Chain A
Amino acid sequence: MDPIQQAMLKKSHAAKLERRGKLISLFCISLIVVVVLAIFFFVASRGLATFFTNKVNLWRFLSQTTWSPAVKDASGQPQVGALPMIVGSFGVTLLSAVIATPFAVGAAIFMTEIAPNLGKKVLQPVIELLVGIPSVVYGFIGLSVVVPFIRNIFGGTGFGILAGTFVLFVMILPTVTSMTVDALKAVPRHYREASLALGGTRWQTISRVVLRAAMPGILTGIVFGMARAFGEALAVQMVIGNAALLPTNLISPASTLTSVLTSGIGNTVMGSLENNALWSLALLLLLMSLAFNLLIRWIGKKGEIK
């Protein structure tokens, strides 16, 4: 082979660089996928041990109301009833979403439809700052302001679902608001013009045209907020009272999946039933976050078709 032919057939320096670069980037992205799979594998293998190794009945786990894994009941079954935590988690999540939604949607309408200038100069930075405040700070404020406030008004200890709801309300407000703003901004301008041209007032235009068109986006924002509220650990743990009892009212101490996890996992021995039961709660948390993800996808698909 003559040298020219050899040079032509050999990979150029640039081609080698290209190959190497592509491999590097492929490696990075595969690492992320592997991490996600590993999270599912490890949490599931621990969480399922409660049911396969310790032979706890899944239905009992979800429906019993007594959570004291170290104690066995009359029939010799360990008492791992996760219902109080499940109720607590869903309680704070739903309540905070119910309170946050009108505020978030209202603020978003204000920022896009009523006073865009004021919205951009004042509300936008406010929302961005609220996102940035660390969750322990919310927890601390909840502990030193919200809990005593509730105690003074309703009596009791002040710890409970109501305090958790207040803290989560402020935490998810910015998330829902900024996603609603995006959804409202995505509504084409001529929708508004058409409605105004028909003689609709601004509010009629907003409520009957803009909000309807933006509905899938707004719902996505709300579900995102709920996912965040469901998974929030420390801020809730600090104000909810951490009593694994089925909540009977909003101001008695309760607990959530995350609060039991954060306070319990360090005090149990790896591989014991107490520990496995906590991992089952973590698995439940993981599955719920997956469910929220699917819900968001489903809403997105539904919204596309219209």
Chain B
Amino acid sequence: MDAKKIDRLATTILYLIAGIIVIILASLLGYILVRGLPHISWHFLTAPSQSFKAGGGIGIQLFNSLYLLVLSMLISVPLALGAGIYLAEYARENKLTEIIRTAIEILSSLPSVVVGLFGFLVFVLQFGFGFSILSGALALTMFNLPLLTRNVEDSLRQVSFDQREAGLALGLSRWETVIHVIIPEALPGIITGMILGAGRVFGEAAALIYTAGQSAPALDFTNWNPLNIASPLNPLRPAETLAVHIWKINSEGIQPDAAAVSAGASAVLILAVLLFNVLARVIGNRIYKKMTAV
């Protein structure tokens, strides 16, 4: 076979591979949506789940997922901003910085189940938070922090050095330059990264099984006192999230409609992740336009 024929053959194979990957995704999405969408209804989205009989919803789990997401972002975003600012603006190229970078790299590559087990050991047992939203949020923070930090650092580094010089020339301190000049310009990138991080947190389950727990006690949605155990806002109550719920009913559930519930919940999860993806793009673009007057 001559070189030209091989070339044509290779090209065909590459097209085939690309096609197969597209088909895999299409069938994945198709399967979840076709199986799950018919099951989604207002009742399904708001009703509490059932352990032994059919007809349960995912209302509490959905609320738990959202609440956990908000709480963990509230903890991790300021930390990631601080850490990212340090790495991009203050860190010198020396041994210490290298150690810090290695630590972040290791943390980002740790299996999430190990992070979850550490959270179980430290937050649940040592600190006595028990299986709770707070423990879960802290575990998710550890899971999310390295990626957010890297995103903040990269976004800050993309801002041209002239901006920093201009700020300093005006007599601002380095910190003021960062806060008032650099961060506003880097904001679209930072926000895009945060939203993508939120999507990751929303679907995470392995880190939550032993920190936020696997039970969803009934909530009283009229009680907004965070100190009351039945209140949805109480950070010390156990909270099974949507992703954990899917895992739970598939591995040890005995509901007769487990397959339908998990298909519906998977569809909700996927739609949420899609939404996060689209939001990341739209909001990033919009803020960029607003900030740069393009």
Name A's B-contacting residues (CB within 8 A): 14-15, 17-18, 20-22, 24-29, 31-33, 35-39, 42-43, 46, 102-103, 106-107, 109-111, 114-115, 118-119, 122-123, 126-130, 132-137, 139-141, 143-145, 170, 173, 177, 200-204, 206-207, 224, 227, 230-234, 237-238, 258, 261-263, 265-266, 270, 279, 282, 285-286, 289-290, 292-293
Contacts and interface: CB of A to CB of B under 8 A. Distances in A.
A37 B175 CA distance: 28
Nearest to A46: B121
Contact of B149 (A32, A109, A233): A32
A28 B111 contact: no
Given A17-B173, A36-B106, A137-B246, A28 B86 contact: yes
A240 to B, nearest CB: 11
14 contacts: A14-B171, A17-B175, A25-B90, A28-B83, A35-B142, A103-B21, A130-B25, A132-B277, A134-B203, A143-B250, A145-B31, A231-B113, A266-B214, A289-B114
Contact of B175 (A21, A38, A43): A21
A35 B122 CA distance: 11
A29 B106 contact: no
Given A18-B175, A33-B99, A42-B118, A231 B111 contact: yes
A109 to B, nearest CB: 6
Contacts of A46: 121
B79 A231 contact: no
B291 interface: no
Nearest to A42: B121
B274 interface: yes
A20 B175 contact: yes
Interface string B179-221: 1000000000000000010011011111001100010000000
Interface of B: 3-4, 6-7, 10-11, 13-15, 17-18, 20-22, 24-25, 28-29, 31-32, 35, 78-83, 85-87, 89-91, 99-100, 103-107, 109-115, 117-118, 120-122, 125, 142, 145-146, 149, 171-176, 178-179, 196, 199-200, 202-206, 209-210, 214, 243-244, 246-247, 250-251, 259, 262-263, 266, 269-270, 273-274, 276-277
A49 to B, nearest CB: 12
B103 A28 contact: no
Q: Lowest 6 A-B CB distances belong to which pairs?
A: A231-B111, A134-B203, A28-B82, A21-B175, A106-B17, A25-B86
A138 to B, nearest CB: 8
Contacts, number: 262
A210 B181 CA distance: 41
Given A132-B276, A282-B117, A32 B6 contact: no
Chain A CB within 10 A, most for which of B24, B82, B203: B82
Nearest to B3: A201
A25 B82 contact: yes
Contacts of B205: 134-136, 234
Contacts of B251: 237-238, 263
Given A114-B11, A133-B270, A134-B204, A141 B118 contact: no
Contact of B87 (A21, A29, A237, A282): A29
A145 B175 CA distance: 54
A127 B277 CA distance: 12
A290 B273 contact: no
A32 B262 CA distance: 35
A203 B7 contact: yes
B6 A286 contact: no
Nearest to A26: B86
A262 B17 contact: no
Interface of B is mostly: helix
A177 B286 CA distance: 29
Given A25-B86, A203-B11, A32 B111 contact: no
Contacts of A38: 118, 122
A33 B206 CA distance: 22
A232 B175 CA distance: 40
B203 A39 contact: no
Chain B CB within 10 A, most for which of A27, A107, A290: A107
A121 to B, nearest CB: 11
Contact of B113 (A35, A133, A261): A261
Contacts of A25: 82-83, 85-86, 89-90
A29 B11 contact: no
Contacts of B112: 231, 233
Given A139-B247, A258-B113, A134 B273 contact: yes
B172 A14 contact: yes
Contacts of A233: 111-113, 206
Contacts of B214: 266
Nearest to A35: B142
Contacts of B83: 25, 28-29, 31-32
A123 B18 contact: yes
